[in-house]
Amino acid sequence: MTILDMEHLLLVLLLVKMQSVLVLHLMQRFMPFACLQMHSLLQVSYTSWFLDAFNYAIAINMDVLNLSIGGPDYLDLPFVEKVWEITANNIIMVSAIGNDGPLYGTLNNPADQCDVIGVGGIDYNDHIAPFSSRGMSTWEIPHGYGRVKPDVVAYGREIMGSKISTGCKSLSGTSVASPVVAGVVCLLVSVIPESARKDILNPASMKQALVEGAAKLAGPNMYEQGAGRVDLLESYEILKGYQPRASIFPSVLDFTDCPYSWPFCRQPLYAGAMPVMFNATILNGMGVIGYIESAPTWHPAEEEGNLLSIHFTYSEVIWPWTGYLALHMQIKEEGAQFSGEIEGNVTLRVFSPPSPGEKGPRSSTCVLQLKLKVVPTPPRQKRVLWDQFHNIKYPPGYIPRDSLDVRNDILDWHGDHLHTNFHIMFNMLRDAGYYVETLGSPFTCFDARQYGTLLLVDLEDEYFQEEIEKLRDDVISTGLGLAVFAEWYNMDTMVKMRFFDDNTRSWWTPVTGGANIPALNDLLAPFGIAFGDKILNGDFSIDGEQSRYASGTDIVRFPRGGYTHGFPFLDSSESGATQNVLTSGTTKADSSILGLVEVGQGRIAVYGDSNCLDSSHMVTNCYWLLKKILDFTSRNIRDPLLFPDSAKKDAALFVDDNQLPTRRTDVNFSSYSAVVGKDLICKSDSRFEVWGTKGYNLHVRGRNRRLPGYPLIDLGRGLNSTIDTSNLRRPKDTQKNKVVSLGNRTWGMLSRDEADVPVLVASHWLLPAAIAITGLLLLSIWHIRQRRRRRRRGSGSGRLGNL
């Protein structure tokens, strides 16, 4: 019998094995177990219902539990903590990752948790199903990097299954793929002698068997397929001789393995860059709790490997069954001219308390293989810095979508990261020869002399005053280019988007618009630039280049001598819509949407819409415009398309302050902001030399050890200038657990058409028991009371709600 035949027979075989393995349908408490598809009579369910079902599973000592449900709220703590309790009780949980594909950053919870086996869908040609959600996980943003998910993929398109009434029907969705893997898990459990099951089988050992036995597919990357297609026989061979151990998933990071290692394989390392971060999962098959004996160690294979500096953040306490290991990698200054590959291993040792009858603790060494490509440091004009720090997404707050034309997706929850919903733009920039780095810390934490352009796209957070002052100096005096893609912001429209959530029994109001225009206006004020509060929609053309303006804003201030482009659009804001009715039939005045200007030694370009860069709800892309903007801001190349004489401003564009958009006064913005009420500090995603400091006017302390044969090259380490360092705080010991706190995050989820969530393994948000308890004490009462509505994933639409 072939493996494919076995997978077709899983439904039948599972029923045969029911005498030794119990499979819990998430809604079994409310309806009889009928088939593996877990088709619910309900499309909307509540957190409290799941807590009851989970408690039932624990009470009757279930072995395997399948969940074909999920949602985007990975901060619904009552739900998430109950999932931890489920797996801590040695129940193997399998869950669908969601049907939000082909978008990235769309993992649904609980499939995104490390202790859960997250399953994606493929068709019979081993292609990733278009509906299957993609990684990376987004819990870790902005100061960390998401984990690899799904764990495995299985057949989930046009699968024959039973109807609730009678007969069979064709089913599609990750809701179908997930129970297929649950059936595989049940078969694997049944081959282990019952007397040995409690010593061998647990959520970690089962995941080890699945990911190590999976068949890697040729085309998809790691955030599409995880370890690959589940392989029952290979996993069986692994389990047959299994001895409790710890391991790392993925166990290999190879920059030369494209496309599987995307995005790491798309951009090599080089000296002077922001650290490249990789977040791996520790699987501890030795016990529900484990500990890291000592700091992870980098073992280079050759002398060139000493050019690589790695700082680690990791969970000293591994619970339940899983932890995380985050690598922060940067090339030392003496490697600025090095070109080649660096290979080696990262090792760490894990131990767990002894099992009953054992005298000493269990211990295991984990190995992560690295193969990295390094190039000489690119010239400044080819380096672009992406601002991730000032992005706020759902959860924890109600952050509304950017395109108001989209009615079935009210939340902005895809991460707004270069490698999630901006991944196509990232690939385009790499194809154009640009090197793109990510900044997850304030503007004071980077050296402007190293970058051609700072790219600000769809940002919702506020800015420290020090950031505003430094950016002004960076542009005017240091020649940094600035490119801004804004979004809509209108007070009346935000109020209209308020709704009552019958799960939390509370009113939900957007905490900001598509972007935080009042904050952006403060940032751009030194340059005489400001955005308004119109919500503009329409098609336009610049010399034959067709584009769509989707819920963008207008430019209301711009300095004399700059160049602006304006077009006649309809204003769909609440006040604008009324005005449109009153003036129907009259000629609409042009609204300025694109501006370019030289300021001191630097250059600035602003555009009022980001949808044309965001793959989430894009109608038409504007990558052509972005490339022309970067040519201008980074290299002062002025395309005639953007700089015609007719676009030059002979007089400044100006409105009074009282006509500019204002901030909301009815929202406690500090609950969602990384700026308001917070300390200015450089986090672990910035250069190692400035970790734990404010970064502003910092004299970088200490230099890398000079290696024989590699001259030390000054890459502008001084971050503007030297200064008194007596009041600067040194970075904390990075050889220990560098978890930068679980933070004040909470869980709670709004219902969606489609959902599934990501697991926690960020460089500074993790979930060991002790840390999780500390994090709970920090949660606000409002968040603790959240009981978000979860959307049931049926089995056939390929949309979220139907996993």
Residue 663 reports pLDDT greater than 90:
yes
Q: DSSP assignment, residue 764?
A: S
The stretch 28-36 carries a mean pLDDT of 28
Q: What confidence score (pLDDT) does residue 459 get?
A: 97
CB neighbourhood size of 505 (10 A)? 9
Planar angle of CA 183, 189, 191, nearest 5 degrees: 110
- For the residues 757-770, what does the mean pLDDT come to? 31
pLDDT-derived band at 711 (thresholds 50, 70, 90) equals: low
Common-topology check for domains 14-28+44-241 and 380-576+588-671: yes
Note the pLDDT of residue 533: 96
Instruction: Report the run of H or E that residue 24 belongs to, with start and end.
Output: strand 23-25
Asked: is 243-377 a CATH 2.60.40 domain? The reply is: yes
Percent of the chain with pLDDT over 90: 70
Count of residues making up the chain: 803
Query: Over 50: is that where the pLDDT of 741 sits?
Result: no
Q: Which two tokens stand for residue 393?
A: 């997404």
Q: Which residue has the higher pLDDT, 200 or 165?
A: 200
Three-state SS at 498: coil
- Expressed in percent and rounded to 5, the helix, strand and coil fractions of the chain are 25, 25, 50
Max CA pair span of the chain: 88
Alpha carbons 444 and 469: distance in angstroms, whole number: 9
User: Domain 380-576+588-671 is of which CATH architecture?
Assistant: 3-Layer(aba) Sandwich (3.40)
Indicate the range of 75-89, 226-240, 458-472, 704-718 predicted with least confidence.
704-718
Task: Return d(Cα 715, Cα 273) in angstroms, integer.
Answer: 10
Residue 477's pLDDT band (boundaries 50, 70, 90)? very high
- Count Cβ atoms below 10 Å from residue 743 Cβ, excluding itself: 18
* Residue 113 confidence (pLDDT): 97
Q: Which residues contact 524 (CB under 8 A, 6 or more apart)?
A: 484, 530, 604, 606
Amino acid 195: pLDDT:
86
Share the mean pLDDT of the chain: 83
Share of the chain above pLDDT 70, in %: 79
User: Is residue 408 classed exposed, middle or buried when 0-12, 13-18 and 19+ CB atoms within 10 A define those classes?
Assistant: exposed
The phi and psi torsions of 714 (rounded to 5 degrees) equal: -75, 115
750-761: b or e for each residue (b if 16 or more CB lie within 10 Å)? bbbebbbbbbbb
Contact yes or no for 612/422 (Cβ under 8 A) = no
Alpha-carbon span 535 to 223, nearest angstrom: 35
* Mean pLDDT value across residues 226-247: 96
According to DSSP, the residues that pair with 276 across neighbouring strands are 329
pLDDT score of 43: 58
Task: Decide which of 791 and 732 is more confident.
Answer: 791
Per-residue HEC secondary structure of 252-274 comes to: EEECCCCCCCCCHHHCCECECCC
pLDDT tens digits along 780-796:
333 333 334 344 443 33
- What CATH number labels 14-28+44-241? 3.40.50.200
The distance of Cα 633 from the centroid of its chain, to the nearest Å, equals 28
CB of 661 closer than 8 Å to CB of 531: yes
Higher model confidence: residue 731 or residue 715? 715
For the cut 90, the answer to whether the pLDDT of residue 348 exceeds it is yes
SS3 133: coil
Closest C-alpha to 783, from 48, 70, 74: 74
d(C-alpha 272, C-alpha 282), whole Å: 29
Domain residue spans of the chain: 14-28+44-241, 243-377, 380-576+588-671
What's the pLDDT score for residue 62?
Answer: 93
- Examine the pLDDT at 752 and tell me if it is beyond 60: no
Alpha helices (H) in 121-258, listed in sequence order: 174-190, 194-200, 203-213, 222-225, 232-240
At 588 the pLDDT is 65
Residue in this structure with the two tokens 């204003």, named with its chain if needed: 571
Contact at 8 Å (CB) between 384 and 635? no
* DSSP code for 525: G
* Host H or E run for residue 594: strand 590-599
- pLDDT at residue 95 greater than cutoff 90: yes
300 upstream amide cis, omega within 30 of 0: no
What is residue 591's three-state secondary structure? strand
* Contact present, 402 and 611 (Cβ < 8 Å): yes
Between 15 and 344, name the one with better pLDDT. Answer: 344
When pLDDT is averaged across residues 666-673 and rounded to a whole number, the result is: 92
Tens-place pLDDT, residues 163-197: 888 889 999 999 999 999 999 999 999 989 888 88
Specify the pLDDT at position 755. Answer: 30
Peptide bond into 179 cis (omega under 30): no
**405 Cβ contact partners less than 8 Å away, ≥ 6 residues apart:** 537, 550, 551, 617
Contacts of 633 (CB under 8 A, 6+ apart): 452, 453, 481, 482, 483, 602, 603, 604, 605
Q: Which region among 38-52, 61-75, 631-645, 730-744 has the lowest average model confidence (pLDDT)?
A: 730-744
Tokens of residue 60, six digits: 């009757």
Between the alpha carbon of residue 505 and those of residues 508, 781, 786, 787, the distances in Å are 10, 14, 9, 9
**Helices (H) then strands (E): counts for the chain:** 17, 34
